Amino acid sequence: MPGPYVAPVVGDETLPKHVDVVVVGGGIVGASTALELAERGHSVALCEKGGIACEQSSRNWGWVRLSRRDIREMPLMLEARKIWSGLAERTGRDVGYRRTGIVFTADSENAHAQNTRYRDQLQDFQVSSDLLSAKDVKEKFPDLDLPLHGALLTADDGRAEPQLAGTAIATAARDRGANILVQCAVRGLELVGGRVSGVVTERGTIACNAVVLAGGVWSNFFARRYGIDIPQLNVTASVLRTDPLEGGPEEAIWCKDFALRKRLDGGYTIANGHENFVDIVPRSFKYVFRYLPALRSDWASLNFRASGQFFKDVFDAKLRPLDEASAFEYTRVLDPVPSKRLTDGALAALAKRWPVFRQATIAQRWGGCIDVTPDAIPVIDQASKVPGFFVATGFSGHGFGIAPAAGRLMADLVTGKAPVVDPAPFRLSRFSDGTKIVLSPEHA
């Protein structure tokens, strides 16, 4: 089974001839956009090349957090937190959202100082968060045997279930009239006078007034056909889940060697807290200078490797005529191989520090490809080169929690409504207009 199980959303049999908006990509960002638009009375088609939420959106850790977030994302994330609170009622389905708190441990003075800065940032946004001393951590988690300088506990942070949320949102969009099309890759745009007039899918064309690209790691390939450069590189993360386990924490906990989150099924989703893999691909050379700040700060946690992905990238990037099968059809669900060293190493490190996890049994391991931008915040914008073409992508490893609000902001931009937050930090032009690319202090 590729990735965590996601109950399939059965797609519509017929393609609509015309809708107001086509959303390309049925991850949680595309689904949230479709739901917003449908609720506002617009006709929508959500087109997904594989299954709803089968890529990043079901493979992530399931953390929904304001803590340790880039300040540029804070207003949008505050909106997201509000939406998550009502999402079960709004969708009529349990999305697994629980405010159980998130703990970021600090193993050095420097890490503790960073946590202090993030605590102050949260306070600036009226979110309460506690800076714990090593003694406080010991009192809270007596069985955790970890040498620490302290930790940041944000009780208002929480978790949701990636295997449920994306499909719940897409199904709710359908309940409000959206067309949901699965196994339906969008090959490209139809343009009239340079403006969007429709899309070409593998099942035929759909006329529309606007297109939202929410294609995750595929967005770069899709947009380049129109001369739109979305700088994105992929990082491959590895995750495991355990069978149900009694006696572990309700809070999600991060430390360097492991990160854990309790699941709705009683098991835990566990991963290495910082190490990932990066395949060297042709785009790596093109973008290397733009990613220098990220490379400098995250060098130690990124394992660069030469692999067959180099040639797959060449294949996927090739522009084919729109009446031929596209790369999007050749890879229905991107299913990278997880690193056993990272997953099993994370569980071993956790078991060493927390006895209850010695009984944990591994139920599944999976990989997930993350779409990272040079400044690690997303693009949520209209692509100025092609009127009617909008982009919501590059969520850089923390888009699950913020997605419901990203969908709201995208819907505002498409419909011309006053945006729910200032969209300026997310504009695509920041990568080409001379703006200095800066990372959040987390990377400093």
Ligand X SMILES: Cc1cc2nc3c(=O)[nH]c(=O)nc-3n(C[C@H](O)[C@H](O)[C@H](O)COP(=O)(O)OP(=O)(O)OC[C@H]3O[C@@H](n4cnc5c(N)ncnc54)[C@H](O)[C@@H]3O)c2cc1C
- How many angstroms separate the CA atoms of 91 and 125, rounded? 28
Give yes or no for residue 57 binding ligand X (CB under 6 A).
yes
SS3 letters across 316-364:
HHCCCCCCCCCHHHHCCCCCCCCCHHHHHHHHHHHHHHCHHHHHCCEEE
Q: Which is nearer to ligand X, 149 or 390 (CB)?
A: 390
Q: Which is nearer to ligand X, 25 or 96 (CB)?
A: 25
Q: Which is nearer to ligand X, 1 or 418 (CB)?
A: 1
Please calculate the CA angle 35-39-40 and round it to the nearest 5 degrees: 120
Give yes or no for residue 165 binding ligand X (CB under 6 A).
no
In angstroms, how far is the first alpha carbon of the chain from the final one? 39
Give yes or no for residue 398 binding ligand X (CB under 6 A).
yes
On whether the CB atoms of residues 377 and 396 are closer than 8 A, the answer is yes
E-state strands within 158-258: 158-159, 179-181, 186-192, 195-201, 204-213, 233-242, 252-254
In the list 44, 61, 105, 173, the residue contacting ligand X (rule: CB under 6 A) is 61
Residue nearest to ligand X (CB): 27
Helix, strand, coil content of the chain in percent (nearest 5): 35, 25, 40
Q: Which is nearer to ligand X, 80 or 137 (CB)?
A: 80
Residue 418 corresponds to which tokens in the numbers above? Answer: 């006053």
Q: Which is nearer to ligand X, 218 or 354 (CB)?
A: 218
The number of beta carbons lying within 10 Å of the beta carbon of residue 335 is 18
With CB under 6 A, what is the number of residues at the site for ligand X?
40
CB of 142 to ligand X, least distance (A): 26
Site for ligand X in 326-345 (CB under 6 A): 328
- Rounded to an integer, what is the distance from CA 175 to the centroid of its chain? 24
Stretch that binds ligand X, among 1-9, 49-57, 108-116, 189-197 (CB under 6 A): 49-57
In the list 4, 37, 63, 374, the residue contacting ligand X (rule: CB under 6 A) is 63
From residue 1 to residue 40, the character string flagging contacts with ligand X as x (rule: CB under 6 A) and all else as - is -----------------------xxxxxxx----------
- How many angstroms separate the CA atoms of 395 and 376, rounded? 7
In the list 104, 118, 141, 222, the residue contacting ligand X (rule: CB under 6 A) is 222
CB of 239 to ligand X, least distance (A): 5
Task: Please give the C-alpha separations between residue 306 and each of 267, 279, 362, 371, in angstroms, as whole numbers.
Answer: 34, 6, 29, 19
Q: Which is nearer to ligand X, 149 or 200 (CB)?
A: 200
Give yes or no for residue 101 binding ligand X (CB under 6 A).
no
Site for ligand X in 370-389 (CB under 6 A): 370
Q: Which is nearer to ligand X, 237 or 350 (CB)?
A: 237
On whether the CB atoms of residues 270 and 346 are closer than 8 A, the answer is yes
Q: Which amino acid is at 294?
A: A
- How many angstroms separate the CA atoms of 68 and 154, rounded? 10
Residues shown for the chain:
444
CB of 84 to ligand X, least distance (A): 11
DSSP annotation of 305: E
Q: Which is nearer to ligand X, 149 or 394 (CB)?
A: 394
CB of 219 to ligand X, least distance (A): 7
Site for ligand X in 231-250 (CB under 6 A): 237, 239
Give yes or no for residue 62 binding ligand X (CB under 6 A).
yes
CB of 135 to ligand X, least distance (A): 28
Site for ligand X in 174-203 (CB under 6 A): 185-186
Give yes or no for residue 254 binding ligand X (CB under 6 A).
no
CB of 339 to ligand X, least distance (A): 11
Using CA of residue 120, residue 126, residue 127, residue 128, what is the dihedral sign?
positive
Q: Which is nearer to ligand X, 248 or 399 (CB)?
A: 399
Please calculate the CA angle 343-344-347 and round it to the nearest 5 degrees: 90
Residues that bind ligand X (CB under 6 A): 24-30, 47-50, 54-57, 59-63, 185-186, 214-216, 218, 222, 237, 239, 328, 368, 370, 393, 395, 397-401, 403
